[in-house]
Amino acid sequence: MSVEQRPEIVTLMAERGSFDPPAAFAARANATPALYDEANADFEAFWAREARERVDWETPFHTTLKWELPFAEWFVGGRLNISYNCLDRHVERGLGDKVAYHWIGEPGDTRTFTFRDLLVEVARCANALKELGVGQGDRVAIYLPMIPELPIAMLACARIGAPHTVVFGGFSAEALAGRINDAEAKVLITADGGYRRGNIVPLKQSADQAMQETPTVERCIVVRRTGHEVPMTAGRDLWWDDVVERQAAECPPVWVDSEHMLYLLYTSGTTARPKGIVHTTGGYLVGTSVTHHYIFDIKPDDVFWCAADIGWVTGHSYIVYAPLANATTGIIYEGAPDTPAWDRWWQIVEDYKVTILYTAPTAIRAFMKQGEAWPAKHDLGSLRLLGTVGEPINPEAWLWYHLNIGGERCPVVDTWWQTETGMILITPLPGITRTKPGSATFPFPGVGAAVLDSTGQPVGPGGGGYLVLTRPYPAMLRGIYKDPERYRQTYWTRFDGTYFTGDGARLDTDGYFWLLGRVDDVMNVAGHRISTIEVESALVDHPAVAESAVVGKTDPVVGQAIFAYVILKAGRQPSDELAVELREHVAKVIGPIAKPKHLMFAPDLPKTRSGKIMRRLLRDIAEGRALGDTTTLADAGVVETIRTESGREED
Ligand code: WTA
In contact, 253 and 42? CB cutoff 8 Å: no
pLDDT at 224 over 80: yes
| DSSP-derived 3-state class of residue 317 | helix
Answer whether 318 contacts ligand 1 (Cβ < 6 A).
no
Q: Write down the pLDDT at residue 171.
A: 96
Q: What is the mean pLDDT of residues 463-482?
A: 97
What sign for the dihedral angle of Cα 486, 492, 494, 500? Answer: positive
Where helices occur in 404-501 by DSSP H, the ranges are 484-492
State the distance from the centre of ligand 1 to the C-alpha of 524, rounded, in angstroms: 8
10 CA from centroid of ligand 1 (Å): 17
488/231 Cα distance (integer angstroms): 44
Angle at the Cα of 143 from the Cα atoms of 142 and 148, rounded to 5 degrees: 80
Pocket flag, ligand 1, residue 368 (CB < 6 Å): no
Using DSSP, state whether 551 is helix, strand or coil. Answer: strand
Nearest CA to ligand 1 atom 24: 418
pLDDT band of 271, cuts 50, 70, 90: confident
What band does 617 get if pLDDT is binned at 50, 70 and 90?
A: confident
Asked if 263 contacts 228 with a C-beta cutoff of 8 angstroms, the reply is no
Q: Whose CA is nearest to atom 15 of ligand 1?
A: 416
Tell how far the Cα of 591 is from the centroid of ligand 1, in angstroms. 20
Residues in the chain: 651
The rounded Å distance from CA 562 to ligand 1 centre is 17
In the reported structure, the alpha carbon of residue 406 is separated from the centroid of ligand 1 by a whole-number distance in angstroms of 23
In testing the pocket of ligand 1, which one of 417, 436, 441 has its CB within 8 Å of the most ligand atoms? 417
Distance from chain centroid for Cα 101: 20
Q: Which residue has the higher pLDDT, 337 or 11?
A: 337
CA 252/CA 586 separation, integer angstroms:
44
| Cβ pair 433, 415 in contact under 8 A | no
CA distances in angstroms from 12 to 194, 488, 551, listed in the order given: 38, 34, 20
pLDDT over threshold 70, residue 155: yes
pLDDT at position 633: 52
Query: Closest Cα to atom 8, ligand 1: which residue?
Result: 418
Going along the chain from its start, the domains and CATH numbers come out as 542-648 (3.30.300.30)
Give the predicted TM-score (pTM) of the model. 0.94
Identity of residue 233: T
pLDDT at 651: 35
pLDDT at 606 over 90: no
Ligand 1: which residue has its CA nearest to atom 14? 391
Atom 6, ligand 1: residue with shortest CA distance = 418
At 32 the pLDDT is: 95
CA–CA dist 173, 154 (Å, integer): 21
Ligand 1, atom 12: nearest CA belongs to which residue?
390
Q: With beta carbons less than 8 A apart as the criterion, state whether 598 and 563 touch.
A: yes
Phi and psi torsions of 444, nearest 5° = -60, 150
Instruction: Give mean pLDDT, residues 524-540.
Output: 93
C-beta 170 within 6 A of ligand 1: no
Report how far apart, in Å, the C-alpha atoms of 359 and of each of 66, 348, 386, 418, 603 are. Answer: 34, 14, 8, 15, 41
Give yes or no for residue 583 CB within 6 A of ligand 1: no
Residue 496 dihedral angles phi and psi, to the nearest 5°:
-50, 120
**Which of 288, 418, 469 to probe ligand 1 with, by most ligand atoms within 8 A of CB?**
418
Mean pLDDT across the stretch 211-226?
A: 98
- Rounded CA-CA distance 193/169 in Å is 9
Region 544-567: mean pLDDT is 94
| 524 within ligand 1 shell (Cβ under 6 A) | yes
Distances in Å between the Cα of 182 and the Cα atoms of 215, 376, 514 are 11, 47, 36
For ligand 1, say whether the CB of 359 is within 6 Å of any of its atoms: no
Confidence of residue 269 (pLDDT cuts 50, 70, 90): confident
Which of 13, 503, 514, 522 for mutating ligand 1's site (highest number of atoms within 8 Å of CB)? Answer: 503
Query: What is the per-residue pLDDT for 369?
Result: 95
Query: What's the pLDDT tens digit per position in 134-154?
Result: 999 999 999 999 999 999 999
- Looking from the CA of 131 toward its CB, the CA atoms found within 13 Å total 18
Q: Is the CB of 309 within 6 Å of ligand 1?
A: no
Distance from Cα 417 to the centre of ligand 1, integer Å: 5
Cβ-based neighbour number of residue 58 at 10 Å: 12
Q: What is the DSSP string of 393-416?
A: PPHHHHHHIIIIITTTTS-EEEEB
81 CB less than 6 Å from ligand 1? no
Q: Quick: pLDDT tens for 160-213.
A: 999 999 999 999 999 999 999 999 999 999 999 999 999 999 999 999 999 999
